[in-house]
Amino acid sequence: MEIGGITNPADLPEAIRTASSAMVELVARRDYWRHLNDEYRTLYRAHRDAKEAEADTRWVVEWRATLTPWQRLMQRLKKTQPPPSPVTFNRPFTIPPYTPTTEQLDNMKRLLTHILAGSAEDTRIDWLEVAELYREQGLFQEAQDALSRYVDDHSSVTAKVLAEQIAKRASAPIRYRM
């Protein structure tokens, strides 16, 4: 997204500082919120890749353990690769530790202030976004309160995931399949 000619996320703090209106600042802060989470996304991807590699290695060891000595010898002589590990959806879901920086916390607090003050009508507030902002700050009761105000679609995947993460008291930004 381009904000007043700004396409480089590193320019967002300046855009926020010099915003010509509350709406421009709100948009810039939303983009900045996402940008500040990029470092954690990179950490998360590395964590996920390491966990998947660990599971794949464990699969190969377990698979080889099921082979007879004759099958192991033939496998080595033919230089055949083990079959790919089966896709398992019951692997434990883990995430690396998440501690938001002072800069992230400050931006989230100010973004919340703009969102909540910017709309006189309760119905114009995106309560999922508000719940997510509170959750990422570790303010789980406030996140639950905001989520309870969400009335659009209680069967939404996003609302369910948010409720689960609030119940687990997990504040890390997460990805999920919709």
pLDDT tens track for 72-109: 899 889 998 888 887 766 677 788 999 999 999 999 99
> Quick check: is 85 in a domain?
yes
- Residues paired with residue 3 on neighbouring β-strands, in sequence order: 6
Same domain, 85 and 125: no
Checking if the pLDDT of 167 tops 90, the result is yes
Question: How many independent structural domains does the chain possess?
Answer: 2
> Quick check: is 136 in a domain?
yes
Same domain, 19 and 80: yes
Same domain, 83 and 132: no
Q: Which domain holds residue 138?
A: 119-178
Q: Given pLDDT bands bounded at 50, 70 and 90, which one contains residue 1?
A: very low
> Quick check: is 129 in a domain?
yes
> Quick check: is 101 in a domain?
no
- Residues paired with residue 6 on neighbouring β-strands, in sequence order: 3
Same domain, 81 and 124: no
Please give the Cα distance from 149 to 122 (Å, whole number): 9
Q: Tell the burial category of 126 from Cβ atoms under 10 Å away from its Cβ (0-12, 13-18, 19+).
A: middle
| Lowest-confidence segment of 32-36, 63-67, 148-152 by average pLDDT | 148-152
Residues 6+ away with beta carbon under 8 Å from 165:
135, 171, 174
Q: Given pLDDT bands bounded at 50, 70 and 90, which one contains residue 117?
A: confident
Same domain, 140 and 66: no
Same domain, 86 and 126: no
DSSP output for 32-45: HHHHHTHHHHHHHH
Q: Given pLDDT bands bounded at 50, 70 and 90, which one contains residue 6?
A: low
Same domain, 62 and 123: no
For 53, other C-beta atoms within 10 Å of its C-beta total 10
Distances (CA, A) of 50 to 35, 59, 98: 24, 14, 17
Q: CB of 1 within 8 A of CB of 69? A: no
Same domain, 82 and 124: no
From the list 78, 96, 73, 105, the residue with the least C-alpha distance to 113 is 105
Q: CB of 9 within 8 A of CB of 32? A: yes
Q: Which amino acid is at 34?
A: R
